Amino acid sequence: MVFTQRKTLLVISVLIAIGASIAASLGILSDFGDGSFIYESIRGQAIEIYGKGIYQHMSSDVAIQGIAQDYVTLFIAVPLLIISLIGFYRGSLQALFVFAGTLGYFFVTYLFYLAMAMYNMMFLVYAALLGLSFFGLFLSIRNIFKVQAVAFSTDRLPYRFAGWFLIINSVLIAILWGSLIIPPLLDGSIYPPALQHYTTLIVQGFDLGALLPISFVLGVLFLRKSLEGIIYGTIYIIFLALLMSALSAKIIAMGLHGVNIVPAVFIIPTINMITIFLAIQGVRRLQ
């Protein structure tokens, strides 16, 4: 298949690969600073600050999770972006879907980093990665919809399973975040302990406001076997497989630092394996 704007997407991909590799490597390797210390937040909560590297002003538990995600970005997402770019250049529709889903991962990752990570020397890199991944995702989706030969083996692709998974997963995570946010509102304390010294709940806000509704709607469209829903849904599942891999890495990292990760250590990797299975099935059935 002949796709359009390949040179533009090549430049975008190379810049993302370079920028993300630098940002992730610094997150993993940087070690300057005096080490952890206790900080009293504006709300009077005692917070352990990480105190090292580019995440030195973040709380220790969040910094540890950020470093874990940097490993996934550097050793899984960047190589997958390059491999899928090569396949896209060779005219593979399957590679284009993987390419789009991987760009979705970079977009959401650096949206979170830009909004949640305490200001550091990578700010402009995060901003550039956010912009590049957004336009790359937009152009790759345009290419998919321009291809008239998009077809799916509907007899074997688990549409119903994928649809119900996206719906149930979005509802369960919304309930989880609600259990974190609503009790303080009811008892008058307002601020959840997980807020720590940050200005707001960034992850929960973006999830509740955008990612979970998107997942729910795509799940419904999967059940209806809508072509648009299947295209966007397949891209979303590929993105989710990468994001859940990062979340699994975060759980493991927290466990290695002595944090109680039960039952998350069983739940998150299970969901991760389901997303990987669905992503593989979705891509394999593309023709």
DSSP for 257-284? TT---TTHHHHHHHHHHHHHHHHHHHHH
Instruction: Please answer whether residues 105 and 15 qualify as being in contact, where contact means their C-beta atoms are separated by less than 8 angstroms.
Output: no
CA pair distance 52, 58, nearest whole angstrom? 9
Residue 191 domain-assigned?
Answer: yes
| Domain membership flag for residue 232 | yes
Q: How confident is the model at residue 151 (pLDDT cuts 50, 70, 90)?
A: low
CB atoms within 10 A of CB 73: 27
Q: Which domain holds residue 64?
A: 6-284
| Model pLDDT, residue 226 | 86
> Which pTM was predicted?
0.95
Q: Tell me the per-residue pLDDT of 233-286, one tens digit each, with 9 for 90 and over.
A: 999 999 999 999 999 999 999 999 998 898 889 989 999 999 999 999 888 877
Number of domains comprising the chain: 1
Inside any domain, residue 1? no
Residue 100 in contact with residue 273, Cβ under 8 Å? no
CB 212 within 8 A of CB 173: yes
Residue 125 has pLDDT above 90, yes or no: yes
Categorize the per-residue pLDDT at 153 as very low, low, confident or very high, splitting at 50, 70 and 90.
Answer: low
The per-residue pLDDT of the chain, averaged, comes to 93
Q: Is 151 inside any structural domain? A: yes
Q: Token pair for residue 219?
A: 């799940």
Question: Is 271 within a domain?
Answer: yes
Does residue 27 form part of some domain? yes
Q: For residue range 174-230, what is the model confidence (pLDDT) as tens digits?
A: 999 999 999 999 999 999 999 999 999 999 999 999 999 999 999 999 999 888 888
